[in-house]
């Protein structure tokens, strides 16, 4: 009577151990997925703010703050500057236009802030003059002609989104840029090109796990390859000396083929790291091994 009960307990323990591992991996992946979805929702919520009313938190026309957390620069040279409490409507950056040509310069202004962020932050007056150059053909003494040309060229190569553009600043952090145009409710007041920059940690947990798995698999392949070569060489030593030279000659192409296959395998694995965050199934191997090992023990115990 005791033997069947013990057998049943071993089976339950083995299955529950495997399920615990699978559940832990699933919970970790769900947590990371939820984090990524949360970041996407933040970006989406910013896009949905078009038409929202915000107000100026201070007087002025360059780099003033607004109550939605953005800072803004005037895009209508000569109009009345903002007064604290003035209301504005949130618009997308296509509403930043050159008053002479009527063409949107929103991408040029976004390119300036993303690609030349340090320059934009160093001198607020220079930044304002550069913005006026794009929106009003302004050519004040702080306008950097060489920089203007670089911005124009870069803006033709890439369209920067209004929300979610990133710039990596270290291995673990990046800047996230959000942009908007604030239209004044007063016709004789300036509109503003507004920006917001936040720091965000880079999620590298899954990437690191994949790289670690790749390293372990590579080491295992190296050990297997070396073991195969050693076994082949031992066989050659035991053979007749008359056939030794011929056998060793045939070994060389096979060894080169194995090395080539191993290198191709490693390259494919590293390509997979850059193409996808998680390789489905890899993390369940320990659970499967535990289940099989447990079943073997249970079977042997039951037979005894």
167 and 213 in a single domain? The answer is no
Q: Do 218 and 179 sit in the same domain of this protein?
A: no
Burial level of 195, CB count in 10 A (0-12/13-18/19+)? Answer: buried
Least confident of 40-49, 53-62, 102-111, 278-287: 278-287
Domain assignment of residue 248, yes or no: no
Residues 81, 191: contact at Cβ < 8 Å?
no
Is residue 241 one of the residues assigned to a domain? no
Do 182 and 113 share a structural domain? yes
Neighbouring-strand partners of residue 77? none
In a domain, 246, yes or no: no
Q: Tell me whether residue 143 is in a domain.
A: yes
Same domain flag for 34 and 115? no
Dump pLDDT digits (tens) for 178-219.
Answer: 999 999 999 889 999 999 999 999 875 445 555 555 555 555
**Widest CA span in the chain:** 101
Are 188 and 212 part of one and the same domain? no
Please indicate, yes or no, whether residues 273 and 184 belong to a single structural domain of this protein: no
User: Whole-prediction pTM value?
Assistant: 0.57
Q: Are residues 8 and 142 in the same domain?
A: no
Q: Identify whether residues 92 and 193 lie together within a single domain.
A: yes
pLDDT value at residue 211: 54
pLDDT (0 to 100) of residue 285: 64
pLDDT at residue 255, as a whole number: 41
- Quick check: is 32 in a domain? yes
144 with 14, same domain: the answer is no
| Domain co-membership, 31 together with 57 | no
Q: pLDDT tens digits for 12-58?
A: 666 666 555 555 555 555 555 455 555 555 555 666 889 999 999 99
Burial class (CB in 10 A: 0-12, 13-18, 19+), 132: buried
pLDDT, position 141:
84
pLDDT in tens, 111-170: 999 999 999 999 999 999 999 999 999 998 889 999 999 999 999 999 999 999 999 999
Structure tokens at 109: 């202004």
In a domain, 244, yes or no: no
Asked whether residue 112 falls in the same domain as residue 180, the answer is: yes
| 110 and 128 part of one domain | yes
> In which domain, by residue range, is 60 found?
49-201
Cβ burial of 131 (10 Å; 0-12, 13-18, 19+) is buried
The total number of structural domains that make up the chain: 2
Q: What per-residue string of b and e applies to 213-249 under the rule 16 or more CB within 10 Å gives b?
A: bbeeeeeebeeeeeeeeeebeeebeeeeeeeeeeeee
Q: What is the mean pLDDT of the chain?
A: 74
pLDDT band at 265 (very low <50, low <70, confident <90, very high): very low
Please answer whether residues 74 and 88 qualify as being in contact, where contact means their C-beta atoms are separated by less than 8 angstroms.
no
């Amino acid at each position: 009577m005791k033997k069947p009960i013990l057998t049943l307990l071993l089976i339950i323990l083995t299955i529950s151990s495997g399920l615990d591992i699978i559940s832990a991996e699933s919970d970790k992946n769900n947590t990371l997925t939820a984090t990524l979805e949360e970041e996407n929702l933040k970006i989406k919520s910013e896009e949905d703010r078009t038409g929202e009313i915000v107000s100026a938190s201070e007087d002025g026309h360059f780099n003033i703050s607004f109550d939605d957390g953005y800072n803004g620069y005037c895009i209508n040279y000569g109009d009345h500057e903002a007064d604290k409490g003035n209301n504005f409507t949130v618009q997308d950056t296509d509403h930043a236009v050159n008053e002479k040509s009527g063409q949107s310069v929103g991408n040029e202004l976004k390119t300036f802030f993303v690609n030349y962020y340090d320059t934009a932050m160093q001198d607020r007056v220079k930044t304002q003059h550069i913005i006026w150059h794009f929106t009003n053909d302004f050519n004040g003494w702080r306008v950097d002609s060489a920089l203007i040309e670089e911005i124009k060229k870069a803006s033709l190569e890439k369209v920067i989104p209004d929300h979610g553009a990133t710039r990596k600043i270290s291995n673990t952090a990046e800047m996230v840029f959000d942009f908007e145009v604030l239209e004044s409710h007063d016709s004789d007041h300036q509109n503003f090109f507004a920006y917001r920059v936040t720091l965000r940690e880079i999620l590298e947990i899954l990437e690191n796990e994949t790289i670690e798995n790749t390293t372990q698999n590579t080491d295992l392949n190296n050990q297997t390859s070396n073991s195969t070569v050693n076994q082949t060489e031992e066989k050659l030593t035991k053979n007749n000396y008359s056939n030794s030279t011929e056998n060793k000659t045939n070994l060389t192409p096979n060894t080169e083929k194995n090395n080539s296959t191993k290198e191709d395998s490693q390259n494919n694995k590293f390509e997979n790291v850059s193409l996808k965050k998680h390789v489905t199934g890899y993390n369940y191997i320990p659970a499967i091994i535990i289940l099989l090992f447990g079943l073997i023990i249970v079977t042997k115990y039951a037979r005894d």
